[in-house]
Structure 1
């Protein structure tokens, strides 16, 4: 049976060799709160999970969902997801490695059911601080609606992650591509939507 959030939190704390009280003091909560988290009585917020993971030197995705780039292959109910890179066009897709994500995380947390998701590694800081170099995004290839959300796109040069807004004009339909603080209006046909970003796996360095 897959471990619960509380069990993973306890394992990470014990591996670090610290008490509940020491962890509580480090992140500014009560020892009782840590105890409740480990007993699965109360779920910590995402912000608290991020603080805990940084202090314990583990990925927040592992504590929250059991997501890991080195999963226990004996655990059942995992979905294999390819991490990919692109060549000279969006049709040139090269698998880099295979991740195993919990089935429940993919179907219930990310709400992916009918399409095969992919993982894409961010290679620059254009979307910082939201995404930084080394972060990976989980992309639902079945979603391609341009609604201002975070999308994986092909911009005729390379694949990149950006916020894309519909930007109709009198002369030509266009989209507004937002990379960090920079906005670029581009003809609608020049942007290929490869999928919607539905999750992030933070780099250990970010």
Structure 2
């Protein structure tokens, strides 16, 4: 099975880019591209999606060799950094606030128990961006991800936006779930017989979890992840 480094190099040659040309598109040095292609290091977070965009492929294909989509669109809309605002900051005409629950974390590893929610600062989103995603701001919330099972896409401490109205499973999309009292974020897939497969990006440490219909009684889908931001 090919590695991310091999797929990245192969794809670069297919679209006829030099390492320097690719580095300019991604916004990193040529040395970094060389290290990625040699397998010395791997792109993480925002850089993974910038690389996929520059190579005109999906992050899933780079990571796993899967190619469910032709564009490097993620399960969530990448929005880079964000600002925290308080209630005294005036909203712009195209802005809306979504609550950021500072004390609630979604487990991306073994999970943590759900804690009491205390509304903290709010994150501002463009109404037009939410409209493109089909997200109602009144049914959305932002929370932190804890653990390393979703690396390199979602490192520990990432923030995700969750659309609590979107609970119908679409294979391969990322969802926040309550798993027997634990808050987790995983890619979900439906299985025959009413089961579900939970997938992490960090498959080396966290292999797929397969739940049958009876085990699914312990799982509640909170909502689909529509946005995320990481500090890398």
* TM bin (shorter chain): 0.5 to 0.7
How far residue 115 of structure 1 moved from its aligned partner, in angstroms, is: 5.0
Match of 2:118 in 1: 94
Match of 1:61 in 2: 79
- Identify which of 185, 189, 194 aligns with 2:222: 194
- The TM-score, its normalising length taken from structure 2, stands at 0.54
- The TM-score, its normalising length taken from structure 1, stands at 0.60
- Identify which of 168, 172, 183 aligns with 2:208: 183
Structure 1, unaligned stretches of length 5 or more? 1-23, 30-45, 52-59
Q: Distance in 1 between matches of 2:118 and 2:180?
A: 17
Match of 2:7 in 1: none
Matches within 5 A, 1:9-158: 27-28=23-24, 47=50, 61=79, 68-70=82-84, 73=90, 75-84=92-101, 85=104, 89=114, 92-108=116-132, 110-113=133-136, 115-148=138-171, 149-158=173-182
Q: CA RMSD in A?
A: 3.3
Q: Distance in 1 between matches of 2:21 and 2:153?
A: 28
How far residue 200 of structure 1 moved from its aligned partner, in angstroms, is: 1.1
Q: Distance in 2 between matches of 1:107 and 1:133?
A: 28
Match of 2:189 in 1: 165
Q: Distance in 2 between matches of 1:190 and 1:168?
A: 18
Structure whose CA Rg is larger: 1
How far residue 61 of structure 1 moved from its aligned partner, in angstroms, is: 2.8
Q: Distance in 1 between matches of 2:125 and 2:166?
A: 19
Task: Please identify runs of 4+ aligned residues in structure 1 that moved more than 3 A.
Answer: 24-27, 70-74, 86-90
